[in-house]
Amino acid sequence: MMNVAVIGSGTMGNGIAHVFAQHGFPVSLIDISQPALDKALGTIGKNLDRQVAKGSLSEDDKAATLGRITTFTSIAEGVRGVELVVEAATENVDLKLQIFRDLDQHAPEGAILASNTSSISITKIAAVTKRADKVIGMHFMNPVPVMKLVEVIRGYATSDEVTSRIMEISRQLGKTPTEVNDYPGFVANRILMPMINEAIITLFEGVAGVEEIDTVMKLGMAHPMGPLQLADFIGLDVCLAILRVLHEGLGNPKYAPCPLLVNMVMAGRLGVKSGEGFYSWGHGTKDLIVADRFKK
């Protein structure tokens, strides 16, 4: 199995490391914060415990999976000898560009550099490296151990060989890869984010309340989660950032983020991660409770 490095140990990063390690890949999990790395290993352990409890994984497999993950706080050390790097840092273009400059300098010459970005141009990321043909998007869905899709994004210079290799690696992880081209929002977020934004506009204009909007989409469109609940789950700051990429990249006013979304992000109401968005998440139960601001 090829050696893999994952940059970033947050929700997406630890999920990506989990899946690679579970399928036999030695993984270097890299983050600037050792406490964040320790927390990530704890999260992976808990998620593996759930799989053991469901009977889909043995205790020996759990131990072997954790044994394949090594943590590093240095990119230079963590990418030594790897054949694939998957960057899963915060969705910030300047941060990602700096990471890819560092990766280009320290990763082996033949290593493929992939980004888990949900909206930032792969072509733009590739342009700061000297290996644009080996830079590709590998957009996993959250939660990574559960969701089957990997959106594989070809940059302007990404080679056929690298694309085929990433498609095959995705299949080895038990995922279903889907190849798309590098345009703002790719496919998943170009379709999803305008829907979420329209749901927020519908709330903003007083057409219906939070529960009503989500109920219509869950029961009428067979969505497992309503768009406002999903926005809370994704993070309202992430939704806003992706909408801005769409608006700026495509120049179409239909992608302009709803003023309510902008205000909520400015106020720090980011959804699950902050404890409140369209719903309240700090009550310690599984009940779906609308945030006080949006109660009738």
Is 91 marked within a binding site?
A: yes
Selecting among 28, 139, 170, 276, the annotated active-site residue is 139
- How far CA 244 is from CA of 113, 139, 190, 194, 257, in Å, comes to 25, 19, 11, 11, 7
DSSP state of 238: H
Selecting among 3, 14, 28, 118, the annotated active-site residue is 118
Is 142 marked within a binding site?
A: yes
Active site residue 118: yes
Is 78 marked within a binding site?
A: no
Radius of gyration (Cα) for the chain, nearest Å? 20
Strands 84-87 and 112-115, how do they pair? parallel
Give the number of C-alpha atoms closer than 13 A to the C-alpha of residue 156, restricted to the C-beta side: 7
Is 118 marked within a binding site?
A: yes
Selecting among 151, 274, 276, 280, the annotated active-site residue is 151
CA distance 67 to 41: 11
Instruction: Give me 289's structure tokens.
Output: 């409770």
Indicate the helix (H) or strand (E) that contains 86.
Answer: strand 84-87
Is 65 marked within a binding site?
A: no
Is 9 marked within a binding site?
A: yes
Active site residue 247: no
Is 31 marked within a binding site?
A: yes
Active site residue 212: no
* Location of structure tokens 């369209």: 278
Active site residue 116: no
9: closest CA among 32, 272, 234?
32
Residues with active-site annotation: 118, 139, 151, 189
> Binding site residues for NAD(+), as ranges?
8-13, 31, 91, 96, 118, 142, 273
> Binding site residues, as ranges?
8-13, 31, 91, 96, 118, 142, 273
